[in-house]
């Protein structure tokens, strides 16, 4: 840890003041962000400013507990300061080396109730935002407490637009975003992103969500957002025993939408990896028995149209080996899919295959071809059934060489049955515990987890790097049967909202977009170039080529980009973008010298001139450009695509002419 001279005494434990104070402030390393904590009128409050201008007006702090009234706070009894400027390396990720440069302020607060008599609030200040969490270290070991309210507020200053959807919906986080005046927010999920008339962009979320319920944000109609936690069925928010700390509450503050997307605060607020070795997981691309089921060509359940047969999976493995994919996902391989499997998730077996699927034969076949099987554990939200089989299932998968498992929890939120028969929310404390337990058991067997219908990502992939990706939003499957399907603006909202939490397994790459004249709102609403650009824009260390093999072989020109694009990156930069309008992202492969760029627009055609200053100075590159062709339009001509090549340098700009619902994907290949 590097300590700034002015902060050394406090960091070494010397009190900041000889007596109780009512105000303490700290600044980020470059003095961009300032936080001040005060105690006024019985309330503990904090403010946030950027370059001297208010961002958050006085906002409340603290928790409430069962058995006592809301505390009145009386004083700040201590303040400790420190600073740190370090770097650390991700084993895989959107950026290999991450800088963690922050100032820290911990204040001890005194309240008039037993459990709030003494607790800490720790703020970490970065130049692009803050994180803060509560520490209740004075609770005696072994003492059980119940959290009944999170009083945390975020009182925004000025007029903002917000991109959000109603929280606690039965379909979890699988909703389209709505843009409204931020004052119209009722109860929203996080990450919650705002754009202000003052030129600022804000995002509210949390980091290191462990053994605590997920945070929602309730609006009061006047600019104040208050934390609301997903409750247990009896109304309690969290059950804790002895001393505890909460997850970090995070506020990203930037002057562009891209600044939010490129922040690494979420990762920096998580603990270092608990896995001594993660070399058994490698980022990559996969195909699989999946889209054909969503198109109702085959079924998850057994019978004559069963998709997960030994023969069908071997055919996919042949395709994967031929074109350089390292994995094949297979859904519907295990017993339990027949009938109403959502209502009867307790019938799933995670070790017994259907008779027409031979797990050992398939994995041996794939191993000979250098292709691994990616497992699938749909639980139907029957968590008790899954946990009872979890260790045996992971042991089986490890024995046959399955190193990745996609999990699923397709059940209405608020209707997940616990062992005691109570109904749980999908991201309450019960499910937060469960999801981490799955990752920990999987890690013990060298298996990575790609969670669908998950608890939202809060950067835990740093601590548990086998938590490789998640869904947690409306993904590609909605483009098969959604009514309506996802509009073009959806994929230019996600990078600035949901994906501020972490990678998303969106499953891009649909080539048969028109689907024989299917109605627009019943099919993919994009151009072919958009499907390619999504591999760069929508980050995940595992990316699926989601369409049917024959559709890729019918378009070898476009398919080449999917074959070429990597999934593990040295660095990533959001070059330009506006939430819901357009985005341009550039990424450099880990350990490589090439670059890849993806650009997307919404329903509006857009011409942009993108400088290539991110390329290495003095070097020449072949730009392999996949762009919308003449007359391309997501509504009427989605398949029009032009592939062209030209030589460029860092001094050049690239003209991007994107059709409605269109995009562009570019590989910059370093020339000798």
* Residues labelled as active-site residues: 477
Q: Are 668 and 597 in contact (CB under 8 A)?
A: yes
Region of residue 77 (phi > 0: left; psi between -120 and 50: alpha; otherwise: beta) = alpha
Q: Are 503 and 540 in contact (CB under 8 A)?
A: yes
Listing DSSP states for 613-628 in one string gives TTSPTT--EEEEEEEE
Nearest residue to 65 (alpha-carbon basis) of 244, 238, 213: 238
Spacing of C-alpha 610 from chain mean position: 27
Measured distance CA(354)–CA(335) in Å, rounded: 5
Dihedral angle sign, alpha carbons of residues 555, 556, 561, 566: positive
Dihedral angle sign, alpha carbons of residues 565, 570, 576, 580: positive
Q: Is 432 exposed, middle or buried (0-12, 13-18, 19+ CB in 10 A)?
A: buried
* Paired strand residues for 637: 633
Q: Is 591 exposed, middle or buried (0-12, 13-18, 19+ CB in 10 A)?
A: exposed
Which 8-state DSSP code applies to residue 334? B
How far lies 613's CA from each of 575, 618, 622, in Å?
A: 10, 11, 15
How far lies 388's CA from each of 329, 351, 384, 440, in Å?
A: 24, 12, 6, 15
Q: Are 637 and 595 in contact (CB under 8 A)?
A: no
Q: Is 279 exposed, middle or buried (0-12, 13-18, 19+ CB in 10 A)?
A: exposed
472 in helix, strand or coil? Answer: coil
Measured distance CA(597)–CA(666) in Å, rounded: 5
- HSE toward the beta carbon, residue 193, CA cutoff 13 A: 25
How far lies 196's CA from each of 127, 154, 159, 200, 218, in Å?
A: 19, 15, 6, 5, 19
Which 8-state DSSP code applies to residue 208? -
Query: How many C-beta atoms surround the C-beta of residue 505 within 10 A?
Result: 24
Nearest residue to 269 (alpha-carbon basis) of 510, 404, 422, 88: 88
Q: Are 210 and 432 in contact (CB under 8 A)?
A: yes
Measured distance CA(217)–CA(194) in Å, rounded: 13
Residues 6+ apart with CB under 8 A from 170: 412, 413, 414, 415
């Amino acid at each position: 840890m590097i300590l700034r001279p002015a902060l050394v005494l406090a960091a070494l434990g010397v009190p900041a003041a000889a007596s109780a104070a009512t105000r303490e402030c700290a600044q980020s390393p470059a003095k961009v962000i300032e936080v001040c904590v005060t105690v006024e009128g019985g309330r503990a409050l904090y403010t946030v400013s950027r370059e001297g201008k208010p961002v958050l007006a006085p906002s409340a702090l603290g928790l409430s507990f069962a058995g006592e009234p809301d505390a009145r706070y009386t004083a700040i009894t201590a303040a400790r300061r420190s600073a740190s400027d370090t770097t650390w390396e991700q084993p895989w990720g959107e950026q290999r080396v991450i800088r963690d440069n922050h100032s820290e302020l911990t204040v001890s607060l005194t309240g008039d109730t037993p459990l709030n008599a003494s607790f800490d609030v720790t703020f970490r200040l970065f130049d692009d935002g803050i994180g803060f969490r509560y520490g209740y270290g004075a609770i005696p070991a072994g003492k059980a407490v119940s959290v009944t309210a999170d009083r945390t507020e975020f009182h925004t200053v000025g007029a903002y637009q917000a991109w959000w959807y109603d929280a606690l919906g039965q379909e979890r986080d699988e909703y389209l975003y709505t843009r409204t005046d931020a004052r119209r927010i009722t109860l929203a999920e996080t990450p919650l992103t705002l754009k202000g008339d003052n030129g600022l962009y804000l995002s509210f979320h949390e980091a290191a969500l462990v053994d605590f319920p997920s945070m929602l944000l309730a609006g009061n109609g006047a600019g104040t957002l208050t934390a609301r936690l997903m409750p247990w069925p009896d109304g309690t928010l969290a059950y804790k025993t002895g001393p505890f700390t909460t997850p970090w509450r995070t506020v990203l503050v930037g002057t562009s939408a891209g600044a939010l997307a490129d922040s690494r605060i979420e990762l920096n607020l998580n603990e270092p990896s608990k896995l001594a070795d993660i070399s058994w997981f490698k980022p990559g691309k996969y195909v699989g028995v999946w889209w054909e089921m969503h198109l109702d060509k085959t079924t998850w359940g057994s019978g004559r149209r069963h998709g997960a047969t030994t023969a069908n999976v071997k055919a996919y493995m042949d395709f994967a080996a031929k074109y350089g994919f390292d994995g094949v996902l297979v859904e519907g391989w295990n017993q339990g899919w027949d009938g109403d499997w959502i209502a009867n998730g307790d019938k799933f077996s995670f070790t017994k295959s259907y008779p027409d699927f031979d797990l050992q034969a398939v994995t041996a076949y794939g191993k000979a071809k250098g292709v691994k099987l990616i497992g699938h554990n749909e639980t139907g939200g029957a968590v008790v059934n899954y946990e009872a089989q979890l260790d045996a299932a992971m042991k089986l998968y490890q024995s046959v060489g399955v190193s990745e498992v996609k999990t699923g929890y397709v059940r209405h939120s608020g209707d997940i049955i616990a062992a005691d028969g109570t109904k749980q929310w999908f991201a309450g404390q019960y499910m937060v515990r469960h999801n981490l337990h799955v990752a920990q058991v999987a890690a013990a067997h060298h298996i990575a987890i790609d969670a669908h219908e998950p608890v939202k990502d809060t950067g835990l992939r740093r601590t548990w790097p086998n938590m490789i990706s998640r869904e947690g939003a409306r993904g590609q499957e909605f483009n098969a049967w959604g009514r309506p399907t996802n509009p073009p603006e959806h994929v230019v909202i996600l990078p600035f909202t949901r994906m501020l939490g972490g990678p998303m397994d969106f499953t891009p790459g649909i080539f048969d977009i028109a689907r024989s004249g299917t109605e627009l709102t019943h099919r993919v609403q994009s151009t072919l170039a958009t499907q390619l650009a999504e591999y760069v824009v929508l980050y995940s260390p595992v990316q699926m080529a989601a369409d049917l093999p024959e559709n890729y072989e019918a378009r070898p020109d476009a398919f080449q980009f999917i074959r070429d694009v990597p999934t593990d990156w040295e660095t990533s930069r959001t070059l330009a973008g506006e939430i819901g309008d357009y985005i341009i992202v550039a990424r450099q492969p880990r350990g490589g010298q090439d670059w890849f760029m993806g650009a997307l627009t919404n329903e509006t055609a857009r011409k942009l001139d993108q400088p290539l200053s991110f390329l290495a100075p003095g070097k020449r590159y072949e730009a392999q450009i996949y762009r919308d062709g003449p007359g391309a339009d997501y509504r009427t001509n989605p398949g029009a695509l032009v592939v062209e090549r030209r030589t460029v340098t860092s001094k050049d700009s690239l003209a991007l002419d994107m059709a409605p619902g269109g995009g562009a994907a570019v590989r910059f290949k370093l020339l000798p």
